[in-house]
Amino acid sequence: MTSLVIVTGGSAGIGRALLAHAPEGASRIDVSRRGCDLPGVEHVPADLADPSGWATVADVLADRIRAAEVDRITIVLNAGVIEPIGPAGRVDADGYTRSVLLNGAAPQVLGHRLLAALVDHPAERRELVLISSGAARTAYPGWSAYGAAKAATDHWARTVAAEQDGADRPVRVLAVAPGVVATDMQVAIRATDAADFPNVDRFRDLHASGELADPDDVAARLWRRLDDPGAGPVTDLRDA
Ligand SMILES: NC(=O)c1ccc[n+]([C@@H]2O[C@H](COP(=O)([O-])OP(=O)(O)OC[C@H]3O[C@@H](n4cnc5c(N)ncnc54)[C@H](OP(=O)(O)O)[C@@H]3O)[C@@H](O)[C@H]2O)c1
């Protein structure tokens, strides 16, 4: 089976691992600021916290999708940031705005625009995956922008998956929570002051006891989850 894989935030962490574990021979595209260091991955540079660039990025990706003569297309909207961490009403307003735009609005708007290209593509398998978080369900003080954005992501996936259920050739839409994963995002979380993030010790303890998941294991599990037709539309990789 020939594949096209598009990952936002493929320059690091979970996104990079997803590109590394993509189906063999897949054409791979990373959308990020830094670019992915893996050989053969195309870089579409973008600051996805800036809405003025979303239409251009979506147009570039839609062109790649339309031109792809493949049996499978998988898009993973993964780019995200945890910062700024701290109580709403106190943290930096510009950072808060960027978090809401990147974590919450960008996946919905890019998802909407890319779905249009996916529904018309003849590929047998077409998948739109949004990377969510346990923070979509648990209210962590200090993470209001992040948690609310992930909750919105889950609901977007539920709603659009229900819409696709009624289509002749439905695109599969899933929000996937990866668990607690050893990436730069967790480094930033552990470095936070307890005054800004009262749950910080839980994350320091998970790290100290070696309980963070490895990004490569998480990526392999996510690719396997996509092979499970019963999974979704909101799924957690920690569940069997
Ligand atoms: N790690 C965890 O424990 C965990 C738990 C639950 C959910 N998640 C979710 O998993 C996803 C990946 O996180 P990670 O842990 O792999 O984090 P990470 O290692 O910090 O990587 C974040 C990725 O997002 C990209 N990104 C950040 N800001 C961006 C921007 N303004 N424009 C474009 N790309 C941007 C980064 O690329 P550039 O900097 O090159 O732009 C990078 O590739 C996120 O959605 C996160 O919420 C992670």
Pocket test for ligand 1, best of 8, 30, 81 (most atoms within 8 A of CB): 81
The answer to whether residue 151 scores a pLDDT higher than 90 is: yes
Beta bridge partners of 8: 31, 77
The answer to whether residue 33 scores a pLDDT higher than 90 is: yes
Report which ligand 1 atom has the smallest distance to the Cα of 103.
45
What residues are in contact with ligand 1 under a 6 Å CB criterion?
9, 11-15, 32-34, 46-49, 78-81, 102, 131, 133, 178, 180-181, 183-186
Backbone φ and ψ for 110, nearest 5 degrees, come out as -65, -40
What b-and-e string marks burial along 29-63, b requiring 16 or more CB atoms within 10 Å of the CB?
A: bbbbeeebeeeebebbebebbeeeebeebbeebbe
CA 187 – ligand 1 centroid, Å: 12
What is the pLDDT, as a whole number, of residue 63? 98
What is the pLDDT, as a whole number, of residue 232? 84
What is the pLDDT, as a whole number, of residue 145? 98
Mean pLDDT, to the nearest integer, of 123-151?
98
The answer to whether residue 238 scores a pLDDT higher than 90 is: yes
CA 77 – ligand 1 centroid, Å: 10
> How far apart are the C-alpha atoms of 166 and 118, rounded to whole Å?
16
**Position 240 confidence tier, pLDDT thresholds 50, 70, 90:** confident
What is the pLDDT, as a whole number, of residue 164? 98
What is the pLDDT, as a whole number, of residue 219? 98
Average pLDDT, the chain: 98
What is the pLDDT, as a whole number, of residue 79? 99
Pocket test for ligand 1, best of 7, 19, 32, 97 (most atoms within 8 A of CB): 32
Pocket test for ligand 1, best of 8, 41, 78, 187 (most atoms within 8 A of CB): 78
Backbone φ and ψ for 74, nearest 5 degrees, come out as -120, 125
Burial bucket for residue 128 (CB in 10 Å: 0-12, 13-18, 19+): buried
The answer to whether residue 137 scores a pLDDT higher than 90 is: yes
* Strand residue runs (E) in 13-135: 27-32, 41-45, 72-77, 125-131
Kindly report, residue by residue over 65-113, the tens digit of the pLDDT: 999 999 999 999 999 999 999 999 999 999 999 999 999 999 999 999 9
Mean pLDDT, to the nearest integer, of 133-149?
98
3-state secondary structure of 233: coil
pTM of the predicted protein model: 0.98
Kindly report, residue by residue over 180-231, the tens digit of the pLDDT: 999 999 999 999 999 999 999 999 999 999 999 999 999 999 999 999 999 9
- Calculate what percentage of the chain has a pLDDT beyond 70: 100
* Ligand 1, atom 2, residue with closest C-alpha: 181
Domain 3-236 of CATH type 3.40.50.720: yes
